[in-house]
Amino acid sequence: MNFDTHHCSALITGASSGLGAEFARQLAPGATALFLTGRRMDALEKVKAECLAINRTLQIHLCTGDIATDEGRELLLESVRQAGFQPNLLINNAGMGDYGTVASADAAKLRTQMDLNMTALVLLTHACLPLLRRPGGIINISSLASTLPMPAMAVYAASKSFVTSFSEALAVELAPEGIAVTCVCPGPTPTSFSQTARRPDGEDTDRDGQDFLRILPSQVVAEGLVALRAGQACVYPGLGVKIAARLFHHLPRFLLRPLLRRRFAKGTV
Ligand SMILES: NC(=O)c1ccc[n+]([C@@H]2O[C@H](COP(=O)([O-])OP(=O)(O)OC[C@H]3O[C@@H](n4cnc5c(N)ncnc54)[C@H](OP(=O)(O)O)[C@@H]3O)[C@@H](O)[C@H]2O)c1
């Protein structure tokens, strides 16, 4: 099941920065319409201006709201209906992390992280399916972190594991309906992600060995769109991330566990 992004109408969550904004910019030249969401209107306006500079005939709708909440998601869906927007592509991109242990975490941030990374992604997909024109496409943004348990990022890695599993199953369910589903699993990518994930006490993640994995948002998005067009169910953008994902998938747990323990004992994961 593949999908042609030319003349697409895409609903993109988390479009005000990072990967979401980059999806908007890369779809802009050939898309018919974009519906961009996030909580910050000023940032969405900036992305809109960038997209219009690329394609001045593009129709762009903006909607702000916190999609980690039931009210925020309902507001978004109502705004989509009111605008008469009929997407054929849904990009579930909004997500967040939280660096540090579960014991020292702020419970409210843990909840928001789970609500945004999992609940919002599932319920927006569910609500958008009747609106999605066929042939259609869905891109879900997961992470390389979905391939292994990550002490000091435990909830984030588990939530992305959920996203990958959900997406793979959804791809099978929706193929007969003419909807392609691609799960994009980026490695460390320079966006605002780290700033949001960092705690007020400064607890951070270990960046040791990440240089090998790090690629720009533009490459993550380009590879994600190529994968959707090719009907690929899951993609790990960048050579380093592809190699790491293969390694993590095949590493026996009895070898992985001491490695995780050692890394965690260093005080940094
Ligand atoms: N960067 C990485 O290293 C990396 C690696 C693997 C996977 N990812 C995944 O990539 C996706 C995009 O993240 P990014 O790296 O581009 O980070 P980012 O620059 O922080 O972007 C996150 C986006 O999500 C939106 N968002 C956050 N909380 C929201 C909420 N409660 N309601 C509505 N929108 C919300 C933000 O918009 P507002 O602030 O305007 O609300 C922003 O547009 C996430 O799913 C992330 O887990 C990132």
All domains in the chain, ordered by first residue: 9-265 (3.40.50.720)
Mean pLDDT value across residues 61-76: 98
**pLDDT range class, residue 210, cuts 50, 70, 90:** confident
Instruction: Please identify, by atom number, the ligand 1 atom nearest to the C-alpha of residue 141.
Output: 45
Nearest in space to 58 (alpha carbons), one of 21, 24, 88, 20: 24
What is the CB < 6 Å shell around ligand 1? 14-20, 38-40, 43, 66-68, 93-96, 116, 141, 143, 186, 188-189, 191-193, 196
The pLDDT, as a whole number, for residue 208 is: 64
CB 130 within 8 A of CB 179: no
Average pLDDT, the chain: 96
Residue pLDDT, tens place only, 225-245: 999 999 999 999 999 999 999
The pair of structure tokens assigned to 161 is 């594991």
Instruction: Compute the average pLDDT of residues 71-84.
Output: 98
User: From CA 105, how far away is CA 121, in angstroms rounded?
Assistant: 23
Are 188 and 241 in contact by the 8 Å Cβ rule? The answer is: no
pLDDT at site 269: 39
- pLDDT tens readout for residues 185-197: 999 999 999 999 9
* Token pair recorded at residue 49: 């201006």
Task: Quote the pLDDT of residue 148.
Answer: 96
H-state helical runs in the chain = 18-27, 41-54, 70-82, 107-114, 121-128, 154-174, 193-197, 217-230, 239-250, 253-265
C-beta neighbour count of 105 within 10 angstroms: 19
Residue with tokens 């009747």: 130
Q: What is the pLDDT of residues 154-207, one digit of tens each?
A: 999 999 999 999 999 999 999 999 999 999 999 999 999 999 999 987 756 666
Q: With beta carbons less than 8 A apart as the criterion, state whether 13 and 91 touch.
A: yes
**Per-residue pLDDT, 201:** 78
Mutate to test the pocket of ligand 1, among 11, 12, 13, 17 (most ligand atoms within 8 A of CB): 17
Q: What is the mean pLDDT of residues 65-84?
A: 98
> What distance in angstroms lies between residue 205's CA and the mean position of ligand 1's atoms?
17
**Closest residue CA from atom 17 of ligand 1:** 193
Asked whether 147 and 248 are in contact (CB, 8 A), the reply is: yes
Structure confidence by residue, pLDDT tens digits, 42-61: 999 999 999 999 999 999 99
| SS3 assignment, position 78 | helix
Angle CA(18)–CA(8)–CA(28) in degrees, nearest 5?
45
The active-site residue, picked from 156, 166, 193, 236, is 156
Q: Under a CB-based contact definition with an 8 Å cutoff, are residues 106 and 113 in contact?
A: no
As a whole-number percent, the residues of the chain with pLDDT over 70 amount to 97
Q: What is the pLDDT of residue 81?
A: 97
pLDDT score of 68: 98
How many A from CA of 15 to the centre of ligand 1? 8
At residue 122, does pLDDT exceed 50? Answer: yes
- Examine the residue annotation and report whether 99 is marked as an active-site residue of this protein: no
